[in-house]
Amino acid sequence: MRTHPWIIWYAVLLHTLWACLLLVSQNPYGATALHVYSALPRLLMAGVLLTASVLAAWAITRRQPSWQTLAALLPQQAILTVSAYAAAAAVVTAHYGDGVIRPRPFILADQAPVILIFALHTAAVVEMHARRTTADVLQATLTAMDTEAERLRPPGPSSK
Amino acid sequence: MHVNAVYLILLGLGVPALTFSGLWFWRLRHQRHAGGRLTETEIAARIAARQEELRQEREARDEHLAGLIAHLLQSAVDARSLQSAVDGRSEPDGARDLAERAIRP
């Protein structure tokens, strides 16, 4: 893909790190963004995170966006959505996922990156797949060229 | 913090589904707006055909211009000969003959 979706690479690295930490211990489940998944076995969650990361990395290394690349980015978006929801819920209820009570502005300042990455990731996915592909641009250029050529064409014998 | 699992599933599936369907309708609308869609092979073929047409037009224009330039050069040479003949006072009859020959079609 031509754009540089750094936010997606950021999510890939973040989820890979989370997966590695979950492979090592149960403690990362205490983090608010991960606590929401604590009902799942940590090895399964690590596998899900790694799979989403690999799919997203595959998608953003393709030359052209397609329905396949869009589908490959959606698992990552789903994980980010749930994490952002957990962060927002922590702000609203004024306590972290592990039960620690803090003022709402404190939690908001702390959890804002999780919410922002969800918004920016969604915007990046939409931007990558909503814009016109090379084939679209070529076709539009060709149409414009034909129109202009017809306009400039001198009147031939048939027009007499 | 207890979060309802139903909300989580709805969110986790709903947002990606919305993204996918939104882009789906966006692309459909864009394609309908753009008219019939050509394959890349058809686009390449049409570009090649258009390029050949433009090349032929340019060649024809160049030949036409070359003919015009040759005609102008010849006119300039004739005019110079005529002028020389008119200016040649020493041989008035010969110059007059030359001028008449030049003017005569």
Q: Which of residues 53-82 of B touch A (CB under 8 A)?
A: 54
Asked whether residue B24 is domain-assigned, the answer is no
Whether the predicted pLDDT of A108 surpasses 80: yes
What percent of chain A is modeled with pLDDT above 90? 67
| B27 part of a folded domain | no
- Alpha-carbon distance of A115 to A109, in angstroms, equals 11
Of B8, B23, B54, the CB nearest to A85: B8
Domain boundaries, chain A: 6-151
Is B36 part of any domain? no
- H helices present in chain A, as ranges: 6-24, 32-35, 42-60, 67-93, 104-130, 134-152
Instruction: Report the pLDDT value the prediction gives residue B68, as an integer from 0 to 100.
Output: 92
The distance of B4 to chain A (nearest Cα, Å) reads: 10
Q: In whole angstroms, what is the distance from residue A22 CA to residue A43 CA? A: 7
Cβ atoms A99, A47 nearer than 8 A: no
Work out the minimum CA distance from B2 to partner chain A, whole angstroms.
8
The SS3 of residue A71 is: helix
pLDDT of amino acid A66: 85
Q: What is the share, in percent, of chain A residues with pLDDT greater than 70? A: 89
Q: Which of the 8 DSSP states describes residue A61?
A: T
Owner of token pair 């690479």: A9
Q: Quote the pTM value.
A: 0.63
Where does the pLDDT of residue A14 fall: very low under 50, low under 70, confident under 90, or very high at 90 and above?
very high
Whether residue A110 is predicted with pLDDT greater than 80 in this model: the reply is: yes
Q: Which residues are A47's β-sheet partners?
A: none
Q: Which residue of A has its CA nearest to B5?
A: A36
- Between CA B3 and CA A36 the distance in angstroms is 7
Chain B residues with beta carbon closer than 8 angstroms to that of A93: 1
Residues of B in contact with A74 (CB under 8 A): 16, 19-20
Contact residues on chain B for A149, CB-CB shorter than 8 A = 50, 54
Least confident of A50-54, A59-63, A119-123, A155-159: A155-159
Structure tokens, A48:
């899900």
**Chain A residue numbers touching B32 (CB-CB < 8 A):** none
What value does the mean pLDDT take over residues A34-52?
A: 94
The mean predicted confidence, pLDDT, of chain A is 87
Asked if A123 and A13 count as a contact pair (C-beta separation under 8 A), the reply is: no
Q: Does the ipTM surpass 0.85?
A: no
Residue A41 confidence (pLDDT):
94
Q: In chain B, which residues have their Cβ closer than 8 Å to the Cβ of A36?
A: 3, 8
Distance, in Å, from the CA atom of B85 to the CA atom of B93, rounded to the nearest integer, reads 10
Look at chain B and report how many structural domains it folds into: 1
Q: Look up residue A140 and give its two tokens.
A: 């539009």
Which residues span the domain enclosing B91? 56-105
User: Tell me, what's the pLDDT at A159?
Assistant: 44
Query: Residue B2's pLDDT is what?
Result: 62
Q: How confident is the model at residue A154 (pLDDT cuts 50, 70, 90)?
A: low
Provide φ and ψ at A155, rounded to 5°: -65, 130
| Secondary structure of chain B as H, E, C letters | CCCCHHHHHHHHHHHHHHHHHHHHHHHHHHHHHHCCCCCHHHHHHHHHHHHHHHHHHHHHHHHHHHHHHHHHHHHHHHHHHHHHHHHCCCCHHHHHHHHHHHHCC
pLDDT digits (tens, 9 = 90+) for A52-94: 999 999 999 988 888 899 999 999 999 999 999 999 999 999 9
Q: Which of B15, B26, B34 sits opposite A77 (nearest CB)?
A: B15
- Below-70 pLDDT ranges, chain B: 1-3, 30-39, 89-105
* CA–CA–CA angle B26, A139, A148 (5° rounding): 120
